[in-house]
Structure 1
C-alpha cells in the first residue's frame, strides 16, 4: 500500500483565519488537526485541534472568527491544549474536503498546520489519483508531493517512514540502554541484538532517528 506525503500551500487570502494568525503572531508554535467531520443536516464543521503555544492569544483570536459557532479549550500541559471548534462550513472548506473524497485515497491524520499557509499530511492510496485531487482543489491552493513510499506505520504512532528493520533497531537500542540518560548501552550492544555489524546497526539507528526528528518538526 502506497502513501504520499503532501504539502499544501494556501495563498494568503485563502487561508483560514487561525492559520493566518499562526503566521502573523508568535503565539502559536505548532498546530495539528487531529480529526474532523461535517454535520449532514446542519453543515457545521466539527474540528479537533492540538495546539502548542500561548492559549490566551489563541482563544482571543478564535473568538473573533466569523464562521465560528462555539469552541471548547482543554489544557493538556504547559503551552499545549486541545481546541474543539464548531464552525459553519465554508464553500472553500467543502471544496477541499470533496477533493480528497476519492475512493482510492484516504487522508491519514493528524494534519500539520505551519506558518505561511503550509499544511502537511499523508494520504494512503493510488498516486495516480492525486491528479484528480489537483483538479478539484479550490483556486489559491497548490499541492506538492514531498515523498512517496510504502505505508507500514503502526496504528497510533507517527512511524510512517520507518522500515521494520529501523523499528527493530530502535527497540533494540531502547532495550539495551542506548537511549538511557546517561547511556548504558552501545551501538555494539544493538548490533549484537540485531545480528549485524556495528556499522550497520549505527546506520539503522541514524536513519530511524532522522525520520523521527522530521516527524516532530514537520
Structure 2
C-alpha cells in the first residue's frame, strides 16, 4: 500500500492552481526486501555515513542505468559490497577527500527501479537532485510540478514503498547562486539542517539533530552551520 500522509490535491488547494511550480519534500521508505544492496549497507554497517544520488540516466537501448553517487564514509567496505551486487556491470570510484568519494556505477536496470522512475516521468513533474539515502530504507528528495501530476504519483509507485510528505511549498531555488565557497562538510551540514527541519519556520529541528545525522558533537555541527551561513550571507551581498 502507498500511504501519503496528506491528500495532495486538498493540501495544494485551489489557491495553488495558478502557480506553475510547487514542490513536495518527500520521504519514502522501502521495505527491507525491496531495498537496493548498497542502501541496506547503510543500515547494516556504520562504514557508510551518508549517500546522495547526484544524477542518473538509463540507456534506452541497452537497459543500463548510469548513476553517480556522492558517498561519505569508508571506501573499502563500500567498494567490497558494490563488487558483489548482482546487477552491477562496472563502476569507478573517485576519492575527493579522506572520507568522501564519488561512485559512478553502471548496472542493469531492474523492473522495480524502472517502475519507480516511471512514476515521476510526467511532462509537468520532475525530481530535483540530489536524492538523499538514509539508513532503514529511507530516501529523501524534492519533487516539483503541477498538483494534479503530483497526486498521480502515489498510484504509480511500486509496492513495498511508504510515502510521507514532509513539506509543501513554492519552489524557489537559484541554481549556482551559492555553488562556491563552502567546504564539503559545511555543505553537508546545511543539507542535513534542511532535511531535519532546522531551517523550517517555525523551526522543527535542532543543532543536536544535525549533529546526530553528521555523527559529530553539537558544538562541531553548530560551527559548521555558522560558518556556512556566514559564507552564504557574504556571497549574497557581494
TM range (shorter): 0.7 to 0.9
**Residue of structure 2 in register with 1:9 after alignment:** 29
Whether 1:152 aligns to 2:172 is: yes
Q: State the partner residue of 1:108.
A: 128
Aligned counterpart, 2:218:
none
Question: 2 CA distance for matches of 1:120 and 1:103?
Answer: 22
Query: 1:120 aligned to 2:135?
Result: no
Relative to structure 1, is the Cα distance of residues 130 and 209 closer, same or farther in structure 2, using a 3 angstrom cutoff? closer
The verdict on how the C-alpha distance between 1:132 and 1:207 changes in structure 2, with shifts beyond 3 A counting, is closer
Aligned to 2:156: 136
Q: Deviations over 1:137-181 (max 9, x none)?
A: 11101111110111111104689xxxxxxxxxxxxxxxxxxxxxx
Provide the residue aligned with 2:17 in structure 1. none
Query: What aligned pairs does 1:23-62 form with structure 2 within 5 A after superposition?
Result: 23-62=43-82
- The TM-score normalised by the length of structure 2 is 0.67
1:18-97 alignment, distance < 5 Å: 18-97=38-117
Check whether the contact 1:7–1:146 (CA below 8 A) recurs between aligned residues: yes
Cα deviation for residue 134 of structure 1 reads 0.6
Q: In 1, Cα distance between the equivalents of 2:147 and 2:82?
A: 36
- CA shift at 1:11, angstroms? 0.2
Instruction: Figure out how many residues of one structure are paired with residues of the other and give that number.
Output: 173
Distance 1:133 1:62 in 2: 30
Query: Cα–Cα, structure 1 residues 206 and 65, in superposed 2: closer, same or farther, change >3 Å?
Result: closer
Matches of residues 127-206 of structure 1 in structure 2 within 5 Å?
A: 127-156=147-176
User: 2:101 & 2:91 partners in 1: Cα distance?
Assistant: 13
So what's the TM-score if we normalise by structure 1? 0.72
